[in-house]
Structure 1
Amino acid sequence: MQTTRNHKQEKTSLGHIRVLDLTRVLAGPWCAQNLADLGAEVIKVERPGAGDDTRSWGPPYLQDQDGNNTTEAAYYLAANRGKRAITVDISTPQGQEIIRELAKQSDVVLENYKVGQLKKYGLDYESLKQIKPDLIYCSITGFGQDGPYAHRAGYDFIVQGMGGFMSLTGERDDLPGGGPQKAGVAIADLMTGMYASIAVLAALNYRDRTGEGQYIDMALLDTQVAMLANMNTNYLTSGKTPKRWGNAHQNIVPYQTFATSDGHIIVAAGNDGQYRKFVQAGGCPELADDERFASNPQRVKHRDTLVPILADMVKRKSKKEWISELENAGVPCGPINTLDEVFNDPQVIAREMCVDLPHPTAGKVTLVGSPMKLSATPIVYDTAPPLLGQDTSAVLREILQYDDDQIENLSKNGII
């Protein structure tokens, strides 16, 4: 590899890798952030004057040291740490030439433009592999590069519906509030970013063994279908379409959420012994001896009778009391935490799932840490999500050897 950030090379997994990141919003940036966390030099390319759409997807916005809002939305901060940011107008011949030169000096190109959009700029895989034969080129779209939906725009919410997730998620149709429900975060985007990360790493490994680059075609819909896991195979094996069960389990009772006096908990009583301990902790041991509820098959059969009784029982104590008593009794349980409770949880703190990074306008920014814990090549937390275009001049000088006059001319003409 050519020039890269030397301080990342020694004790990182990907310090020898350069990634040219032409993506925006979430799926692509999430993939690129994973690679940056693992030590890769990631160069984020954005539109001059505007940048990634998520920079303005607020409030909330990061605040500066005087308490004023910056131009960095929290949404943008979530998926862009560890990157260098440059601005290039790729609709211009000069901008296209900059991207080609950078691609020639890179190992990986990530993009999430509409199908065929980069071809008109000469920045598609077929064009770039002519100048960089061993290039890894990953495209992320809503529906993939082929098929009848290929030219549709892909949105996470729509894909959650199309891919079957929402048919499985939400309260039962026969209960109040029943109906399809999306996830609280953009799971199709996030999981596509994760799968894309794996695919890029696999392609890099293959390139290192054979010298051959390749094209990676990632689609949100493909990912959403794939991640339904056992629910897919339940259907494919039985031919029966699964239904929504909300926070309940179709085969185990009680295996669901309950409201306490001050919050909610999850109780996952997987066998009759755990169920008995649960109702004993609630002061209702007779519920374990009632023949309607004594065994799991009977509890499933009489679910609609038992669950309201258990719900009344659970409301008599606080969340903290229930968690303490059930953990001591050996009944699987857990709280449903709000995010303030999550980030004050001693386990989350011990696992260092919050990191503070220096920021040029805010002084520091607090971000969520990576869940990847590697003993020999730990995650790299070196730079905050960059300001728009903050590294443009440095990247052009260091990698492409542009001089001051060239950079000034490009800036004057709105190319960068």
Structure 2
Amino acid sequence: MNIPPPQQQPREFLRALFDAAVARALPDVVMREHLPPPPKGRTLVLGAGKAGGAMAAALDAMWPHDAPLSGLVVTRYGHVPPAYKAHGGRIEVVEASHPVPDDAGREAARRIAALTKGLTPDDLVLCLISGGGSALLSLPADGVRLEEKQAINRALLKSGAAIDEMNCVRKHLSAIKGGRLGAMCSPAQVVTLLISDVPGDDPAVIASGPTVPDPTTCADALAVLKRYGIDVPSHVRAGLEAGRFETPKPGDERLANRSVRMIATPHQSLEAAAALARRAGIEAHVLSDEIEGESREVAKVHVALAKEIARRGSPFRKPCVILSGGETTVTVKEKGGRGGRASEFLLSSAIALQGEPGIHVLAADTDGIDGVEDNAGAIVTPDTLARAEAAGKKARDFLDRNDAYSFFDAIGDLVVTGPTFTNVNDFRAILVV
């Protein structure tokens, strides 16, 4: 890969780092070494997530053509690799809604559950799981309507709850997540191939852990709902209070014959970006791949570090790039605003930087979609605020109404990639020259 000179082409340099991070997590790059041998019986492929289509296509290409292979995977609308969508393969891939589930996701989850019937100890189930699977694999628990799950999901997304908190609630209101899919597959061997999009890479949190035991409880889910003031229908609350929605726990015999293989993680992608920067002669520092918190507040901490580097050469000497990942949150205060975690981080960064010379920032979601918009993220440069003011745009007004997308769109600084066909969560890079 050609590396743009960071001092002369900071935008292009930061974009190259993002592209390197994404490339490190592509299924056709990372999957092969994690595949088990074909079983004595049949191989069934089940899965869900934003990377599900690409994972299915990669597996289909790598699996021996003389070995039986079939199954069903659900991914987000528009996230099936074009070649696989056009020509198909041995694994069916269907599309559904994210981040709020829809009827297509419910039907896909119902069909996935039905495919587990009749499995034997000689059979192998390959579960392809990536971020986004919580919404895409939506089969409500008995007595819970899809419309109720949709409303609860919307409230969680706007609440500022962390991903593990959201997924605690989601799995307890599901008939297929929180280890239930894994239990359905018993007595077959189950191998779960995971692309992580969560801080800490916990298999029980990624896509709400459909194939692994769930250590959380109905009481934990109730505590999350109380913490964020989320109202749920009385019969849903009663089901949680009575423990009727409890999930399979560690030690459940139905989940004994399983293995989990992490094929791509946020840390690996950050290290790939760091390696590219170093090849360009720029020292790179990975802060963490587990950063959480309100996007606008996380931005202030990152900017304070960048300013310290720029002004005092501490704790790192410039030129350098600082990298981080994780999953921040946005507490939505006003209706009508557009933008996701990355865009809000950037708008808060621009305000905190106030045109500080020599500091450029890129933040983007590695799946290519920041929230529900058509951008992956955006870029902040030393003249961001000046250009916005010349266009009559006041950054603080846009931040107050959670409208970061509109701000960066107005000045032409959105980063638009389209679906990347993977998902290792937030990517942030701050270049100090």
Q: Same fold (TM over 0.5)?
A: no
Q: Considering only CA atoms, is the larger Rg found in Structure 1 or Structure 2?
A: 1
TM-score interval (norm. to shorter): under 0.3
**Structure number with higher relative contact order (C-alpha < 8 Å, ≥ 6 residues apart):** 1
**TM-score, normalised relative to structure 1:** 0.25
**TM-score, normalised relative to structure 2:** 0.24
